[in-house]
């Protein structure tokens, strides 16, 4: 190992490689557990530190993370922190702090005062046990109070957006309180740092005077200059490299100024970001240029440096773990308890108040920044630092599962109906036909609405058509709060809505961020009482099956019929082909074809495939028997009037026979899912479905949902399948 590391740069590159790779690998697990990325990065840092890597491989760890190399790692990580704190300031919109009313004032102040007071009381117990006598008790107490009051604003904003709570009452209130918390807690922390660094009363007074002068200068002199800079950066010229250079120079000067005053460079970075103009695209463009490098490369170095300072082995006694548990309990009681009770007293329901308390208890990265400040200043010991890091991890980790328990997906789906800007759902009626169209790509929209409008042609009172666009969550943190899912979804839904306007059909768009699209599709289908869910098709990664991935999950879990549309230029629905084998899914496909025949007068061809060699048990019906039974009696007469043709062919492969017949000029092929057509439902698979790959025209793969309470019935004979596939429609003449 020493041969590979022959200079400080080589050692740093190896450290960076291990840190970033470990953070991303742990991040894969964190995403599976629906945890924010900060959990993965903090955990990766601890794993690379003496708590695991240094414990298992002490010699290797001593070489890679040698003591003399840590100052360089710390320096680079602090540069990353300065950039990140600037981005946090950019993300903090002053509008969040205004006009939120009486409730936000009470909750935000309570969520600071209560944990601060409990942190001060906890300091009485911890100071004689975990602190040095050289540390002033006042500094220790103030620091513990500030550390308990921190809320992780960026992590909270991301969780709110992913859980679709940001636009709700509780989400708006939470993000406001978190913004107030962040500003107040950082002001308190700045005061604590200045007191700790001051060598006497005179020094503390001068630090306070210079800090006030700095803030005044930033607001009076720098802010107007930044407004002019923002207007230029938000113009058609865009954000040039010169503007980025000027901004970075201001960032350096602001951070250097607060360091010289005696506070900390992080406060200067945060202050500059907070006063940046938010009304133009300047701030967002600037964040997009800086964020990826800061978050992916620089921040993991900070987490690793924190992990190297976290020695879980220091908690080698029952007393140590009891004190750690006490810190976690006090942190949760102060933040969660104080916020929840205050929210309940302001009129929120217990569900909303509890959700707000859970979110406010999130600490994450911001807590780690505070703890490192305390350790660097000597206010807290390495042992207390380790306990507080574990507290930050636990309070952040518990947020998502507790929030899912308080606000389950079904409850969130129901609240979509009452969300601001949504049209209330009309009362359900037996004759109303509802279709939920799930649009993943723009190109699939026009074909979906063409089919959906044909299925429900008879007037707006007899149909409900919804277009759902689910937006995958991004890795970006800054301006995550300001991203409007409705605006992003509108872009993907534009072709669908344009086609709907041509057809004179009303479509209600729905759009929101979804980390689990299949679950949300099924929940929305339940809430909207959909008769049919239409899903667009795309081939999943590392798979040849078209019915895998999200499509598989929707077909497996949806409590209604599902149609997967493989659109190959569907413009009209006039000639239909229905390959029929007699399964429940085939009957559902036949039912949709019957509906299309009644609604738009489509011609329907039913394809029945039999084996070329007729032996006992090969097929339930012969060719002539099938024809006779399909068209016998009154039902047969009705089928003839609907332009329905039964076609019986002999072929070794039903799927190949269907593909051959589809080449004869049909607009749409409707086929039930099932192995008889080579369409087995598989989550993964490397075997392509022949009928999907070979069909030259648009194809609708139908999966029928059988209600659990429905009585079991014997398979209907082929003669009655068409009539039984759906309820008889009322006479329109």
Give domain limits for the chain: 8-407, 568-612+620-699+715-733
- What mean pLDDT value characterizes the chain? 78
Residue 97 pLDDT: 55
Which fold is adopted by the domain 568-612+620-699+715-733? Rossmann fold (3.40.50)
Residue whose C-alpha is closest to residue 89's, from 213, 251, 216 = 251
Residue 693 pLDDT: 80
The answer to whether residues 147 and 373 touch, using CB atoms and an 8 Å cutoff, is: no
Beta bridge partners of 579: 607
Strand order in the sheet with 508-513: 508-513, 463-471, 433-438, 532-536, 561-566, 698-703, 668-672, 575-580, 603-610, 644-650
Q: How far apart are alpha carbons 469 and 441 in whole angstroms?
A: 9
The answer to whether residues 666 and 658 touch, using CB atoms and an 8 Å cutoff, is: no
- Where the chain has pLDDT below 50, the residues are 417, 419-429, 478-485, 541-543, 616-621, 623, 626, 629-631, 633-636, 638, 684-686, 709-733
H/E stretch holding 171: helix 169-197
Summarised one tens digit per residue, pLDDT across range 79-125 is: 988 888 888 788 776 665 555 556 777 888 888 899 999 999 999 99
The answer to whether residues 155 and 396 touch, using CB atoms and an 8 Å cutoff, is: yes
Residue 388 pLDDT: 92
Q: How far is CA 64 from the centre of its chain?
A: 36
Residue 411 pLDDT: 65
The answer to whether residues 537 and 698 touch, using CB atoms and an 8 Å cutoff, is: no
Residue 461 pLDDT: 66
The answer to whether residues 525 and 495 touch, using CB atoms and an 8 Å cutoff, is: no
71: CB partners within 8 A, 6+ apart: none
Q: How far apart are alpha carbons 297 and 17 in whole angstroms?
A: 10
Residue 1 pLDDT: 56
Q: How far apart are alpha carbons 72 and 95 in whole angstroms?
A: 39
Burial class (CB in 10 A: 0-12, 13-18, 19+), 225: exposed
Q: How far apart are alpha carbons 281 and 284 in whole angstroms?
A: 5
248: CB partners within 8 A, 6+ apart: none
Pick the CATH number of 8-407 from 3.30.70.20, 3.40.50.300, 3.40.50.20, 1.20.1530.20: 1.20.1530.20
Number of residues that this document lists for the chain:
733
* Gyration radius (Cα) of the chain, Å: 32
Burial class (CB in 10 A: 0-12, 13-18, 19+), 549: buried
Distances (CA, A) of 731 to 67, 213, 598, 599, 720: 86, 82, 10, 12, 20
Q: In this structure, what token pair is assigned to residue 365?
A: 């990265």
- Taking the model in full, what pTM does it have? 0.68
Burial class (CB in 10 A: 0-12, 13-18, 19+), 67: exposed
Residue 250 pLDDT: 93
The answer to whether residues 315 and 56 touch, using CB atoms and an 8 Å cutoff, is: no
Residue 426 pLDDT: 46
Q: Per-residue DSSP letters for 205-249?
A: HHHHHHHHHHHHHIIIIIHHHHHHHHHHHTSTT---HHHHHHHHH
The answer to whether residues 173 and 397 touch, using CB atoms and an 8 Å cutoff, is: no
The answer to whether residues 681 and 547 touch, using CB atoms and an 8 Å cutoff, is: yes
Residue 719 pLDDT: 36
Q: Are strands 644-650 and 561-566 parallel, antiparallel or unpaired?
A: unpaired
């Amino acid at each position: 190992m020493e041969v590979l590391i022959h200079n400080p740069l080589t050692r740093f590159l190896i450290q960076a490689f291990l840190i970033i790779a470990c953070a991303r690998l742990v991040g894969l697990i964190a995403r599976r557990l629906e945890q924010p990325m900060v959990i993965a990065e903090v955990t990766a840092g601890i794993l690379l530190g003496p708590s695991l890597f240094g414990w298992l491989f002490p010699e290797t760890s001593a070489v890679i993370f040698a003591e003399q190399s840590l100052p360089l790692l710390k320096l680079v990580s602090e540069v990353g922190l300065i950039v990140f704190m600037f981005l946090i300031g950019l993300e903090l919109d002053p509008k969040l702090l205004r006009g939120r009313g009486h409730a936000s004032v009470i909750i935000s102040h309570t969520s600071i005062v209560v944990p601060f007071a409990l942190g001060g009381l906890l300091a009485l117990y911890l100071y004689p046990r975990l602190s040095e006598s050289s540390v002033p008790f006042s500094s220790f107490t103030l620091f513990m109070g500030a550390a308990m009051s921190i809320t992780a604003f960026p992590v909270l904003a991301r969780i709110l957006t992913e859980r679709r709570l940001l636009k709700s009452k509780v989400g708006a209130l939470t993000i406001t309180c978190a913004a107030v918390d962040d500003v107040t807690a950082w002001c308190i922390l700045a005061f604590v740092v200045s007191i700790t660094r001051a060598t006497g009363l005179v020094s503390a007074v001068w630090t306070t005077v210079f800090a006030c002068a700095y803030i005044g200068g930033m607001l009076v002199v720098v802010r107007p200059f930044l407004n002019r800079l923002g207007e230029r950066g938000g113009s058609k010229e865009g954000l040039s490299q010169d503007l980025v250079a000027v901004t970075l120079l201001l960032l350096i000067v602001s951070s250097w100024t607060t360091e010289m005053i005696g506070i900390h460079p992080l406060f200067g970075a945060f202050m500059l970001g907070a006063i940046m103009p938010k009304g133009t695209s300047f701030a967002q463009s600037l964040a997009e240029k800086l964020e990826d490098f800061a978050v992916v490369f620089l921040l993991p170095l900070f987490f690793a440096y924190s992990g190297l300072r976290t020695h879980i082995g220091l908690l080698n006694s029952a007393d140590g773990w009891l004190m750690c548990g006490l810190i976690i309990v006090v942190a949760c009681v102060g933040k969660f308890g104080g916020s929840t009770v205050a929210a309940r007293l302001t009129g929120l329901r217990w569900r909303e108040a509890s959700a707000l308390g859970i979110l406010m208890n999130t600490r994450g990265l911001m807590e780690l920044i505070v703890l490192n400040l305390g350790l660097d200043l000597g206010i807290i010991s390495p042992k207390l630092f380790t306990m507080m890091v574990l507290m930050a991890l636990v309070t952040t980790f518990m947020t998502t599962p507790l929030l899912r328990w308080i606000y389950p997906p079904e409850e969130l789906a129901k609240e979509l109906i009452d969300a601001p800007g949504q049209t209330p759902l009309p009362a359900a009626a037996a004759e109303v036909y509802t279709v939920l169209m799930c649009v993943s790509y723009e190109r699939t929209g026009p074909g979906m609405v063409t089919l959906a409008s044909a299925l429900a042609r008879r007037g707006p009172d007899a149909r409900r058509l919804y277009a759902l666009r689910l937006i995958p969550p991004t890795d970006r943190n800054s301006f995550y709060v300001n991203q409007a899912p409705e605006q992003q979804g509108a872009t993907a839904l534009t072709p669908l809505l344009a086609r709907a306007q041509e057809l004179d059909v009303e479509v209600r768009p729905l759009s929101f961020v979804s980390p689990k699209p299949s679950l949300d599709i099924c929940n929305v289908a339940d809430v909207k009482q959909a008769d049919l869910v239409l899903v667009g098709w795309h081939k999943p990664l590392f798979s040849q099956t078209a019915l895998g991935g999200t499509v598989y999950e929707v077909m497996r879990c949806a409590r209604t019929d599902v149609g997967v549309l493989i659109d190959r230029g569907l413009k009209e629905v006039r000639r239909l082909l229905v390959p029929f084998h007699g399964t429940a899914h085939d009957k559902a496909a036949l039912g949709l074809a019957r509906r299309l025949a009644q609604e738009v007068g489509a011609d329907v061809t039913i394809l029945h495939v039999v084996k070329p060699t007729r032996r006992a048990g090969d097929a339930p019906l012969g060719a002539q028997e099938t024809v006779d039974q399909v068209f016998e009696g009154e039902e047969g007469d009705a089928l003839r009037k609907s332009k329905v043709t039964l076609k019986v062919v002999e072929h070794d492969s039903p799927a190949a026979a269907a593909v051959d017949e589809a080449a004869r000029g049909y607009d749409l092929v409707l086929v039930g899912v099932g192995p008889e057509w080579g369409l087995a439902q598989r989550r993964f698979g490397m075997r392509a479905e022949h009928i999907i790959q070979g069909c030259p025209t648009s194809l609708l793969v139908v999966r029928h949902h059988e209600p659990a309470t429905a009585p079991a019935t014997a398979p209907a004979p082929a003669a009655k399948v068409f009539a039984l596939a759906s309820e008889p429609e009322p006479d329109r003449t």
